[in-house]
Amino acid sequence: MLHLHRRKATHRWGVSVLTVAAMAATGLLSQPAPPAHAAAPGVEPSAVTRTLPPGGSATIAKVVHTPAVPPNPDIVFLADTTGSMTGAIANVKTNAADILTAVVGSQPSAQFAVADYKDVNDTPPFAVKQALTADQALVQAGVNAWTIGGGGDTPEDGLNALYQLATGAVTFRPTGTRIVVIFGDAVSHEPSIGHTRAEVIAALQAADVRVVAVNVGAGGLNQNGQIQAVTDATGGVFLDNVPANQVADAILAGIQAIEVTVTPSVDCDDALSVSLSPASRTVTSGDDAAFSETVDVDGEAAGGTFQCEVDFLVDGTSRGYVQTLTVHVPGLSVYDVQVNEGAGTVDFTVTLSSPAPFPVSVSYATTTGTAGAADFTAKSGLLTFSPNETLKTVTVPITDDALDELNETFKLGLSAPSGAALTDPSGEATIVDNDRDGAFTCQATALNLAGQVSTQANPANSPCAEATVAGPDNTLNAGLVTVRTTGLSASTDLTPDNLGAAPAAGDKAVSTSAAGSTKITVAGLVTIEVGLIKATASVTCATGSGGLVPQYAGSSIITNLKVNGATVTVGSGPLTIPLVVGSLKLNSTTTTATGVTQQALVLDTLLTDLVIGEAKAGVTGSPTHPTGNPCRA
């Protein structure tokens, strides 16, 4: 019988002791690869997808199939080649090819080296016969180069040989599992050519070398517990009382009996967190390491798709055993819609960004805007999405009147979601007036924080009137939003001043609003700093089909924008920047049949809207000329 002992090392692999039961010595080498039914090394499942609500969680069973041989091994065969080792050396020479085949069958990247040791008076007492190589022919040649001789007294110098291997006699790969297999039948001198047992153990630990030791026959390799102290301290394996004709079997069994520690390393998007139980597992190479994985979604998570990668490290090194976890958080959105005043109803479309395997519900309610209570019928209620349903419609009746007026807007807002996040909770309906007009409209607003308006020219908007307003430096608060501004200004201008004159090309109305340096803070989470904010909107009479027609233009300028200290380049086109508290919309131009609205900066949060730099210009009707406009007589 041969006895195999394995102890977890104290410096890297822990402090527990594991004794493997005695194994029957069959004289046959292990299979060169795992059985056909065994799972390939890696994590199972390697890819997982779940749909979860904000605040939701899921638990997933994970199994890491470890390789039959520790990954990417660098194995040094270290033989006692003194006179008493003839039978053992012959056995290893005969079966070396089978050992190599078995190891490479499990780990194709394996490399091997060959060394031997004798006694202090032998020349040399230690030698490397073959440096690390993947070439099996060279390894066999190195084994064949072992020659029996020397010795003399009973102790040899195995400790010195181990010390030399730990300190550079062989160059190990940085990411290899470093294993030295020593076999002999005699204890080492101690100290061995000046190296004590403690010094040898420290050197092996520093080099992350694990020692597999084979005591040939009833030899004294472990006299005074010497070699088992080394295997225990390095996380290796000690095999005792191995017959000389079974040493090759024992070498392979020892390599396959080395323990590996599997430790998950987690990298997640901010909306997700992943925990695994246990934090790590130590198993014999080839065994499975089972984990329970729990993924939690932040209760404030936005709708979207988020990912985690869990790399199951083997002995602290990535071996490519990576699991990808994808979590879909359904997001609710309601879309803007435009409808002619005479259509009778407006349909708001409410969508769920991804199908959910569970019910989702959300409350909805209309709110007035420029369209008042007389322009539409208020509605509120609860929408419920059945599992896998992604679309609902809310129909709101609108009133067709005969008033000359601007296009009017009202909103449908979503709130109190269950099972989903709010991605875009406010949809705006624009009721396009079907009454023609005959006057310019204009309005310029420097700042509007949740209805707190500062520095506004021509508040009435219709009709357009010339005005210039300069505002003081200002600090406004609304909910979690604080705005500090300087240099607020707004102006509206008509050309010509007397619209009683006959229409001519170039007649126009222009609105301009601006703010100097501006700082916006939201709940301590977002800080927005801007140098200059300016918006301009205009309507100009130009030659068109059948005569003069109004043409609209809007533009804005944003300079020196920083979001949480990071500079953002802003051109002249529209730009939306997602924020943890909502979104920042820049250079927004909204053109309708009757006007243009230019918004330089819009901060859209769940509870508070902020607009800085808004300019409006357009046309409106008159009772006298209900089918005309200011560009036509």
Mean pLDDT of 19-45: 51
- For residue 352, what are its two tokens? 């769920």
Mean pLDDT of 485-502: 86
Q: How confident is the model at residue 472 (pLDDT cuts 50, 70, 90)?
A: confident
pLDDT higher than 60, residue 315:
yes
Mean pLDDT of 107-118: 96
Task: Write down the residue that tokens 């040399």 correspond to.
Answer: 124
Stated as kind and residue range, the H or E segment containing 197 is helix 197-206
Mean pLDDT of the chain: 90
Topology agreement, domain 43-66+260-329 and domain 331-434 = yes
pLDDT higher than 70, residue 9:
no
The pLDDT value given to residue 253? 95
Mean pLDDT of 177-186: 96
pLDDT higher than 90, residue 625:
no
pLDDT higher than 90, residue 395:
yes
Q: Which tens digit of pLDDT belongs to each residue from 271-311?
A: 999 999 999 999 999 999 999 999 999 999 999 999 999 99
The pLDDT value given to residue 435? 46
329 touches 301 (CB < 8 A): yes
The pLDDT value given to residue 341? 87
Q: How many CA atoms lie within 13 A of 494 on its CB side?
A: 25
pLDDT higher than 60, residue 479:
yes
* Mean pLDDT lowest among 147-161, 425-439, 546-560: 425-439
Residues of the chain with pLDDT > 90, as a percent, come to 80
C-alpha pair distances (Å), 321 with each of 174, 266, 283, 390: 18, 12, 16, 36
Residue 503 CB: number of other CB atoms within 10 A? 16
Please tell me what DSSP assigns to residue 169.
I
The pLDDT value given to residue 18? 31
Q: How confident is the model at residue 504 (pLDDT cuts 50, 70, 90)?
A: confident
347 touches 337 (CB < 8 A): yes
pLDDT higher than 60, residue 21:
no
Q: Which tens digit of pLDDT belongs to each residue from 577-587?
A: 999 999 999 99
Mean pLDDT of 131-157: 94
Tell me the domain boundaries of the chain.
2-30+71-257, 43-66+260-329, 331-434, 436-633
Higher pLDDT, 628 or 344: 344
Q: Domain 2-30+71-257: which topology? A: Rossmann fold (3.40.50)
The pLDDT value given to residue 497? 81
487 touches 419 (CB < 8 A): no
The pLDDT value given to residue 496? 83
Mean pLDDT of 515-532: 95
d(CA 21, CA 174): 33
Mean pLDDT of 122-143: 97
Report the CATH superfamily, name and number, of domain 43-66+260-329: Immunoglobulins (2.60.40.10)
The pLDDT value given to residue 501? 65
The pLDDT value given to residue 615? 98
Residues paired with residue 209 on neighbouring β-strands, in sequence order: 178
Residues of the chain with pLDDT > 70, as a percent, come to 91
Instruction: Name the class of domain 331-434.
Output: mainly beta
